[in-house]
Amino acid sequence: MQELQRDLTAKGVVWLLVNSVSPKYPSHRNPEAGSKEWTSQKINATAWLDDSSGKIGKAYGMRTTPDMFVIDQSGVLVYAGAIDDRPSPEGDPRTAHNYVRDAVQKLQAGQHLAVSQTKPYGCGVKYGS
């Protein structure tokens, strides 16, 4: 994912990492922990948003981590779902069909997105309520 973040942000894409985990769960990261993870995992997103209230995640219907959303320059949600077609951690993710990369490339080329929604996969988001 970091490679995709680097590639897309270099092309002017704004990549927001939204942390919607409630503080009452062990997987929650406060801003300090988020900053350390950002550095240690070489995250290349534009910004890390602390959404411990779950307001952003719930507004977009975020169910898993990761759950990916591509929004066009007009603010319209054009893709929601999995990052790629490989839910298994096995194998090289670079050989999977990457829905996010495809959506951004089509948007930048002014083309219609053939796939606008897929089923996200990963761990469930731990909202507070």
**104-116 tens-digit pLDDT:** 999 999 999 999 9
- Output the six-digit token pair for 22: 């409630």
pLDDT reading at 88 higher than 90? no
CB atoms within 10 A of CB 46: 13
Query: Percent of the chain at pLDDT above 70?
Result: 100
pLDDT reading at 9 higher than 80? yes
From residue 74, how far is each of 11, 61, 77 by CA, in Å? 17, 20, 9
Q: pLDDT category, 18, cuts 50, 70, 90? A: very high
If you average pLDDT over residues 87-94, what whole number do you get?
Answer: 85
Amino acid residing at 118: T
Q: 120 phi and psi, to 5 degrees?
A: -70, 160
Q: Domains of the chain: which residue ranges?
A: 1-59, 61-124
User: What b/e readout covers 1-21, taking b as 16+ CB neighbours within 10 angstroms?
Assistant: beebbeebeeeebebebbbbb
Q: What is residue 29's predicted lDDT score, i.e. its pLDDT? A: 87
- Output the six-digit token pair for 53: 């209230």
Q: What is residue 122's predicted lDDT score, i.e. its pLDDT? A: 92
pLDDT reading at 1 higher than 90? no
pLDDT reading at 77 higher than 80? yes
Query: Percent of the chain at pLDDT above 90?
Result: 69
pLDDT tens profile 23-62 = 998 888 888 888 888 889 999 999 999 999 999 999 999 9
How far is 50 from 56, CA to CA, in rounded Å? Answer: 10
